[in-house]
Structure 1
Amino acid sequence: MAEDITPNSNNNNKINNFLIVLVILLAVFCGVLLWQYFDLRSQNSNKGSEIEVLNDERTELQSELEEMLEDFEDMETDNDSMRAELTNRRNEIEDLLAKVKDKDFAIYKLRKETKTLRTIMRGYVVTIDSLNTLNVGLRQENSAVKERLTSEKRTNQSLQEKNEGLSSKVALASRLQARNISAYGVRVKRDMTGKDTDRANRTDKIRVCFDIDENKITPAGKKSLYIRIIAPDGQILSEGLGDDYRFEFEGQKGVFSDKLTIDYNNSASNACLDFSRASEEVEFLAGEYFITIYAEDYEIGTAELELK
């Protein structure tokens, strides 16, 4: 009987050992499954938080872009170039607003482009403020120019009245007089011939022509003729400001626009004087020009010219 019991006991022990190993393996497998379950649950929870954060950022960016769009709409300027720039920037903001609503567009790109636009907008605010301030200054300057032109007209009228009221008829009679005064713009062609024009951007020089009356009283000989041209901005056109470009008239000194010396023999004659622009890059201003003609140190005529 002892020989029969021993083999059975060995078989039972083997079975028990196998079951124990199987239980241990099942326990380990279940542990691994539980760990994977909780890990996936944690990852899903983190992803949900990240999605919520991204949605919050998109909402915040959308609000910021809408605010920037309103700010751009409120910007006003008279500068055509700046208005075009503002229109382009508004279009960019509208494009970004469309991208914010697109969940597939990377949030970091939206944040970067929004920051760039915000920086550009701050620069525009400074530029527009400067332009508006400059425009106010220009309006004030234009007003001052008009006042100077009015004062110049009054001064010329006063000088003319003063000349007319001189008691010395001999002095007046000896003065030269300019008649048939004409002033016009000249466009110089490539063959150096000229063509009349009333367009400021086509004018290469302003020409003033006039007739000088016969005068038997004035002494014959060389006479210096001058013209002074006052531009629409109130500036006197002259090639320079030194003594070589100055003359005395009516008891004062001033610059002239052009000078011509003639040999006067007491008979009627004619003369033309020109003022040319400094270079091809410099254009004559559009507007009204006031021209005064002098012989020696006294006024002999006036004219006006309008360039469009």
Structure 2
Amino acid sequence: MENQKSSSSLKAIIAVLAILLVGSLVYIFKMTSDADTVKTELKTTLTEKELVMKDLEELKLTYDAAISENTSMSDELIQERDKVVNLMSDLSKSKGDVASLSKYRSQYNSLQSNMKVLMAENETLKKANTTLTTQRDSTVVVLGETKRNVEALTGQNEELSKAVEIGSKLTVLNTSGSAFKLRSSGKQIATDKASRADVLRVNFTIAENAIAKSGAKTYYVQVIDSKNNVLGDKKTENFGDNILTYSFLTNVNYENKTVQVSQDLKGKDFAKGTYFINIFDKDQLVSKTSFNLR
């Protein structure tokens, strides 16, 4: 009887222990499962934080590259990049829980949308600047060519003006001098003897010139004897810093045709030797010659 009671008590104890063991095993399994779940969630949370941080870093690099191009939108781009930098700083300090990561992801998406709009505007602005630069360069080239053409034409016009100026000047040719003896009858006899000479004659020719200005022309004639004396009127004329002493004036009505000029210079006691004749247009020597009296 006692043996039966002991056996029943032992069985009861074993049953209780078995129940406790099963309960412990169930509790241990549940705790282990919960820990694994927490580890998985933590790992997932950390991975998401890294992904958001990586996306923000790429966004910052995009802004840095656009800012380096130094367009007129640089200030706007800098402001948006600073927002990204601030969000990165906040994210790095956060615990990385699911709720906060969701907030950061949402803010990143908003910043990315703004970035796309700004990049599109910046690209449009770059293209417009490129077009303007090309147009400006083309304009500079055209202006350069125009300037060179104008300079070339100006040079040609100056050369033409000089050529016309030179070509329009009158040419004095065939200048000569001679001496004559005057008879009481008025007849003039050529002589080469100084003692017989009463008149010195100066001859010269003004050549035909179609482009020269027609009208009255004045020439200053200078006759110098062998003793270096200026004969005749011995008048002086000032031409700026130059002073000309001349023997007589010759006035000619020039009409673009050849003109023969002859004028006498009366005198007495002409010296022997070489005489020099100089023809001046104002203070410019235009012709000269010499002759001898013995």
TM-score normalised by structure 1 residue count: 0.41
TM-score normalised by structure 2 residue count: 0.42
